[in-house]
């Protein structure tokens, strides 16, 4: 195919291939390493997540069979304990080894470039607004008060489930956590990491009897602005909505 006729997707695949006879060599100053953990020192509230108690949930194979994308939700609020379980299933700490905190979802090189934000539409015990998951502390940092769900729904190409759900997971990527090691190939791994996390959310929601739908269609700049990130050093990559399914 003529290089000029290749779309950006094809060029991305070509530029990030591993080739036995043509591995690119990068100087150490091309990609700077980003901080391993992010926190908001000016957060108005920091709420430690309640202990995780997953006893009595659905069996694994039933969960696999019953998982479906759900888009119609009731106005029933999400319990904070349920939110804590969903967070644990996606970014919970399962083991510590030195400075590395292994999570419930896998990550290339255990570098964990994905950050989690949550818009609480209706979560018991949480004010409406955007929270950041402080992974190291397993706590929620309240960073933006107020109902952003109408703006998020518009940013997600007008999908009402974003506004109607009880909570919206907003996943962002900090490429600098991965590019210092994997260079351009890191971008493939970032999207794979996001996919692992999104599937864990779907399965955990199903096990809890909740509805879930992940979303890849959104206006990137608008979601970035709502969260308050620059779209370069950190950028939105994936969304997920949670709520009680409407019968």
pLDDT tens sequence across 163-205: 999 999 999 999 999 999 999 999 999 999 999 999 999 999 9
Distance between CA atoms of 136 and 223, rounded to whole angstroms? Answer: 24
Q: Say what the pTM is.
A: 0.90
Summarised one tens digit per residue, pLDDT across range 28-49 is: 567 889 998 899 999 999 999 9
Report the phi/psi class of residue 34: left, alpha or beta, with left for phi > 0 and alpha for psi in -120 to 50.
Answer: beta
Higher pLDDT, 62 or 199: 199
Which of 203, 171, 13 is closest to 89 using CA atoms?
A: 203
User: Does residue 93 contact residue 101 with C-beta atoms inside 8 Å?
Assistant: yes
What mean pLDDT do residues 149-154 have?
97
Burial of 237 (C-beta count, 10 Å sphere; 0-12/13-18/19+): buried
Domain definitions of the chain by residue range: 58-243
Q: What angle do CA 79, 81, 87 make, to 5 degrees?
A: 105
Which of 92, 95, 178 is closest to 134 using CA atoms?
A: 92
Which segment of 42-51, 53-62, 114-123, 168-177 scores lowest on mean pLDDT? Answer: 53-62
Q: Quick one: what percent of the chain has pLDDT higher than 70?
A: 92
**pLDDT for residue 3 is more than 70:** no
**pLDDT for residue 25 is more than 70:** no
**pLDDT for residue 7 is more than 90:** no
Distance between CA atoms of 152 and 155, rounded to whole angstroms? Answer: 5
pLDDT at 9: 85
Domain 58-243 CATH class label:
alpha beta
């Amino acid at each position: 195919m003529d290089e000029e006729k290749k779309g950006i997707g094809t060029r991305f695949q070509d530029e990030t291939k591993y080739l036995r006879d043509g591995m690119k060599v990068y100087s150490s100053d091309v990609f700077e390493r980003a901080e391993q953990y992010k926190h908001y020192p000016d957060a108005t509230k920091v709420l430690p997540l309640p202990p995780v108690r997953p006893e009595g949930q659905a069996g694994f194979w039933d969960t696999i069979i019953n998982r479906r994308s759900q888009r119609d939700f009731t106005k029933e609020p999400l319990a904070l304990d349920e939110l804590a379980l969903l967070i644990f299933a996606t970014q919970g700490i399962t083991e510590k080894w030195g400075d590395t905190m292994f999570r419930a979802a896998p990550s290339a090189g255990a570098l964990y470039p994905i950050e989690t934000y949550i818009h609480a539409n209706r979560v018991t015990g949480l004010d409406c607004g955007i929270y950041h998951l402080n992974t190291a502390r397993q706590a929620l940092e309240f960073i933006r008060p107020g109902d952003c769900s109408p703006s998020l729904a518009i940013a997600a190409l007008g999908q009402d489930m974003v506004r109607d759900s009880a909570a919206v997971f907003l996943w962002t990527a900090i490429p600098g956590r991965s590019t210092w090691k994997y260079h351009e190939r890191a971008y493939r791994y970032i999207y794979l990491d996001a996919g692992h996390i999104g599937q864990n959310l779907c399965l955990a929601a199903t096990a809890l009897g909740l509805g879930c739908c992940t979303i890849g269609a959104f206006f990137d700049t608008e979601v970035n602005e709502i969260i308050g990130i620059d779209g370069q050093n950190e950028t939105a990559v994936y969304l997920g909505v949670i709520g009680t399914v409407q019968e």
